[in-house]
Structure 1
Amino acid sequence: MNRALEIAADVRARRRSAVDATREALAVIERENAAINAFHHVFHDEALAHAGRIDALLANGIDPGPLAGVPFAAKSLFDIEGHARIAGSRARLDAPAARRDADAVARLRQAGAVLVGTTHMDELACGATGENPHFGAVRNPHDIECMTGGSSGGSAAAVAAGCVPLALGSDTNGSIRAPAALCGAWGMKPTFGRLSKRGTLPYADSLDCIGGFARNVDDLAAMYAVLDGNASNERCDERKVAVLGGFFETYASREAWDAVMQTASLLGPHETIVMPEDEMQLVRGAATIISNVEVATAHANLLDAPAESVSPRLRTRLLAGALSPAAWYARALRYQQRFRMRMSRLFADFDILLAPCTPFAAPRFSDTTIMVGVHALEPAKHLGMLTQPISFAGLPVVTAPVIRPGRMPLGVQVIAAPFDEAACLATARRIEEGFRNTQRTSTDT
């Protein structure tokens, strides 16, 4: 699959048709999806019909938009007009069809992009591995015996496998960033509240963000510009960079930390900020309380659903939230405001913060624990432990994939001040160019 911007340029110049670009994506999905299980529903006929309308506009001299003819996918918690919003839940199989598209889907379609399908996800977004008890596990395109991470694993796998150049996801505690890292894609979680969530199924409303995946930074920025409507396309100049250490180094494997250091070296001189473990564990506890209470509030009806409709893991999460004292929830929200102010103050001295995305590369499905130093970490519980504090602070983040030939990918969080997504993307471009130059040099020598 070509780059999104290349497809759009060719379609708008009528060097190729939107129908041909859509057929190509559908063919790749048909070839790849049996192995990776990324797609829940493929909109074959609808996608081709939409692509045909784009070609008709062009034939009449009308520009369909900056993403003309670009195939994309959407996590199955986004409303798609005429289709039920399943969100990885067997309990929602009989949900009514949506009457209109989610805002994010509508914006991409209005820009000329073609929706080719919805992607699998963890049950109601309550998970970090990409495994779903009702619809099966999404499998990592780099090794199908390995996890994608979650809960946006299907969208990450669809992009990484070349099925689509762009995909929508959502991120509460790391659900875009972790799958992007494990699958080797670029991923973006904007500032909390930056993009409209209308038409998406909530998980934890105080933390939920929408964002997406791409195979390169320019495509990611183009998608974000459409979703935001007012995004700048700032190119990069020199920025002051700091690496988040302490807790983030302690719970990163050697190779995950090396990926951060390698990325930092591409950006020039940098400092280290030691993040105390006791503070970060308090952050994780507060974020978990908020997540549990809000998902239990949003989906309280599922506590009475038949046992086969709700997995034991999700039912336990809902019960934990329903039984949490209101005082805990109130205190967690107050602490979140203080922590957001604490993290925002770091940007008085630095423009960009770097941190590992996940403690380790993609685990195998058979891995019950992975040792990181002296700590035995469980993938289901700990894949999002390094992304969760950044979500709690509400900061914008781009995942920079670190591709390692012969080994599974890793990812680095590129973090900026609130509402400075332009800095994230501009720095991501420098990183992408730096890795490209490094690979070119190593090939030449």
Structure 2
Amino acid sequence: MKTKKNIWLGFHNKSRSERIKILKENSFLNDEFSENLLNNVTLPCDIAEKISENNIGTLALPLGIAPNFLINGEKYTVPMVIEEPSVIAACSYAAKMISSSGGFYAEILNRKMTGQVILYNIENIEKAFENVLNYKEIILNTANEAYPSIVKRGGGAEDIRAEIFYDDNTSFLSVYLTVDVKEAMGANIINSMLEGIKSLLEKITGGICLMTILSNYADKSLVTSSCEIDIKFLSNDINVAVNIAKKIELASKFAKIDIYRAATHNKGIFNGIDAVVIAVGNDWRAIEAGGHAYAASSGKYKGLTTWTFDEKNLKLKGMLTLPMPIASVGGSIGLNPSVKAAFNILKNPDAKTLACIIVSVGLAQNLAALKALVTKGIQKGHMKLQAKSLALSVGAIGSEVEILAQKLTEAKHINLENAKKLLKEIRKKLRKIE
């Protein structure tokens, strides 16, 4: 029986057009989006002008893909938008290790969003608290009347709760509305519902509404991705692999006790998550805000992943839980040609599937970073790709870029001055050859 060719072998060495051709021939892209990517069709300025104020143009960022993802038994190639060198390569490397060990298992713990109406100047705040709970059904019905289309789609307002806050001589009553927003991120839905119940809540509580707003702390929209890695994929030497696995577990523990490390630990996770969220046209700022808030939900800011080494079975186990209120419809998703191409590459997932993919990317990104940090260090991989950026910045073109990048990685100092000097030497040699 003929072995199926690995289409990703040497993928990074191929030209952009060859990569797009491979994606098309293997059903990751249809004809329309293949042509769009070949011709680099991006967001038109006339659309950009309608979705953002004072528009003067558009800003392009690199769009790449991370293959090798096996999530809940399905294979995915994940589009990522990022300008930082080595992120996509590292993510792909980690995904391959995890997928070779059985892949990621991801589950939606819940998918609801929360909005809040904040009230103040309440004479009897304890009584107001009780009234909110007593009028729960009326409040929910009023909220759903404010956005009937989401109810028709099987979603809508589902729960109400309240909490009292005190600050010096001021007291606040925050009323939380939980809503099933289906495939949308839900900001417009929830904000409309909150406006719809504002006057009712003022009447019920006798207070004044300070504000109504969606919360980006999406603790009712949690997703968990987990994996088990056979440590043979960490190193060919079993003793070295055991040592690496133990160090990754320790690094995970340290990120939960030191805030300086936790911030960078989590930033690395969001290197991957943000890149996918941008590629699929969602609000990466909202996702980051919710993620960092969740990292501090215990009262102390901690690293978001947990890695443990099962020494008996020689398995490294990883887990990441995050709020992931991602959308598959709405916003600029249907307006941006590159975003539509990204969805095509992902097989047009619904919101829940997309959330599972994104959190799995975060887990893979973290594994790659930790493995690098506890072994060769993170700088080596960064410098290799940074050298290419430096080569381009000093004016290297064509074959000069790879030659200069290689010389820079071998040089004692990687800086602008040395890059200019080496480029002159390369050009002198090339002219002699010609």
TM norm. shorter chain > 0.5: no
User: What TM-score, normalized to structure 1?
Assistant: 0.21
Structure number with bigger Rg: 2
Considering fraction of residues, name the structure with more helix.
2
TM-score (norm 2): 0.21
